[in-house]
């Protein structure tokens, strides 16, 4: 019951949830009941703004008691930033647009060396938003490896928490 869930959240956080409130259920795959509740939020007479995040692997693997709310959830897959998005994140829209225009017209790019320097940065920094944000804020490569390692370790820890279905076990 969405109203019951909302009332518990309001009590827990001592705040009123209205139509302008964005509710985020993080790691929703860890609770089959929470995942199933998404169906009822979608069918609710109230128009809640709701985002549920989590590992799709966990959704597929940990299905025991409750069903997935088919047709009630819009799935979005998040990817790391590509090179063009990396340029935009740095505020280098003009360079990104110029590269795109040159590519679309199959013309040589007159600032190829400038573009390559940015691309080298992208190869080191990568496209993970947290790493890109830190790089933009500090313009420093020294913390990048630490953040990247932290992200990788978090993924490994998340995968270790997943139960492997009996079918896949040999």
d(CA 1, CA 40): 7
pLDDT of the residue at 129: 93
Residues 10-47: pLDDT tens digits? 999 999 988 788 888 888 877 778 877 887 787 776 77
- Distance, in Å, from the CA atom of 108 to the CA atom of 60, rounded to the nearest integer, reads 47
Count Cα atoms within 13 angstroms, Cβ side, for 75: 10
Q: Which residues contact 109 (CB under 8 A, 6 or more apart)?
A: 98, 99, 102, 103, 115
Return the domain boundaries, the chain: 2-61, 83-160
From the list 118, 148, 155, 153, the residue with the least C-alpha distance to 130 is 148
Q: 101-156: per-residue pLDDT in tens? A: 999 999 999 999 999 999 999 999 999 999 999 999 998 888 999 999 898 888 78
Q: Using only C-alpha atoms, what is the Rg of the chain?
A: 22
Which of 121 and 3 is assigned the larger pLDDT? 121
How far apart, in whole angstroms, are the C-alpha atoms of residue 46 and residue 60?
29
Six token digits for residue 123: 């190869």
What angle separates helix 2-13 from helix 32-43, to the nearest 10 degrees? 110
Query: Nearest to residue 55, comparing CAs of 79, 82, 23, 26?
Result: 26
- Once rounded to an integer, what is the mean pLDDT over residues 82-99? 97
CB-based contact 132:79 (threshold 8 Å) = no
Q: Looking at the DSSP assignment, which residues form a beta bridge with residue 24? A: 51
Could you give the C-alpha distances from 76 to 32, 53, 64, 94, 132, in angstroms and in order?
19, 9, 23, 29, 21
Give me the mean pLDDT over the 82-86 stretch: 97
């Amino acid at each position: 019951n969405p109203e019951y869930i909302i009332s518990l959240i309001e009590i827990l956080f001592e705040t009123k949830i209205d139509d302008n409130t964005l509710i985020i259920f993080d790691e929703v795959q860890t609770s089959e009941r929470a995942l199933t509740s998404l169906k009822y939020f979608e069918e609710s007479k109230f128009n809640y703004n709701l985002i549920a995040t989590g590992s799709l692997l966990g959704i597929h693997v940990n299905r025991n008691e409750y069903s997935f709310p088919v047709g009630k959830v819009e799935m979005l897959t998040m990817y790391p930033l590509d090179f063009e998005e990396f340029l935009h994140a740095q505020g280098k829209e003009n360079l990104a647009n110029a590269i795109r225009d040159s590519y679309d017209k199959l013309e040589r790019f007159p600032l190829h060396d400038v573009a390559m320097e940015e691309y080298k940065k992208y190869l080191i920094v990568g496209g993970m938003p947290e790493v890109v944000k830190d790089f933009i804020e500090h313009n420093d490569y020294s913390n990048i490896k630490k953040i990247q390692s932290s992200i990788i370790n978090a993924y490994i820890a998340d995968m270790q928490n997943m139960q492997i279905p009996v079918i896949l076990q040999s």
